[in-house]
Amino acid sequence: MIFLQLFVEFFKTGLFAIGGGLATLPFLKQIAIQYGWFSVSQLTDMIAVSESTPGPIGINMSTYAGFHAAGIPGAVIATLSLVLPSYIVILIVSHFMEKFKDSPLVNDVFYGIRPATAGLIAGAMFEVFLLSLFNTDALVAGGSVMDFFRIVPIIVYIVALIGVYKLPKLHPIVFVIGGAVLGIVLGL
């Protein structure tokens, strides 16, 4: 039964997360909440790892969640089911694209998909921002306002933001390595 759940959930994620990558985050968060195969905190950690290592975030998380839920077979099923919708859609689209490439309806559909994709990515960005800098669980649980703010990550964020604008010639890897070092040193 777990294999079927993994397949269905990650197939839906792959089918509806147009734009891939960060667009999968709302779906992955829902899976974390609904099934508990991984926590929202683990999702945040996987975002950091996925963004600083080669490989798509959706693939990395589906593999992780599948492995966490059902070992290696679960990892394989979750990963393949995330990729399968894209594969099917590409086969179908490539078959019909030549025939309908000048169709106003097809152009309108692609035009409408763009803002939806941008919205999914913007929503994911906002989720990552909240999870990284604020402890929303503390606020919901009735904690104090000071428990809500993650002071050290907020300071690191502000320093990195200033660094991006004041030191634009630095390669982005400098900021990734700097964030990793600070995370290790400060125990984030």
**Average pLDDT of the chain to the nearest whole number:** 82
Strand-pair partners of 54: none
Of 17, 20, 49, 45, nearest to 30 (Cα)? 17
Token pair 């690191």 is at which residue? 156
Strand-pair partners of 134: 149
- Does the pTM of the predicted model rise above 0.75? no
How far apart CA 32 and CA 75 sit, in angstroms, is 15
Q: Is residue 54 left, alpha or beta, with left meaning phi > 0 and alpha meaning psi from -120 to 50?
A: beta
Chain center to CA of 55: 12
Statement: residue 161 has pLDDT above 80: yes
Statement: residue 50 has pLDDT above 90: no
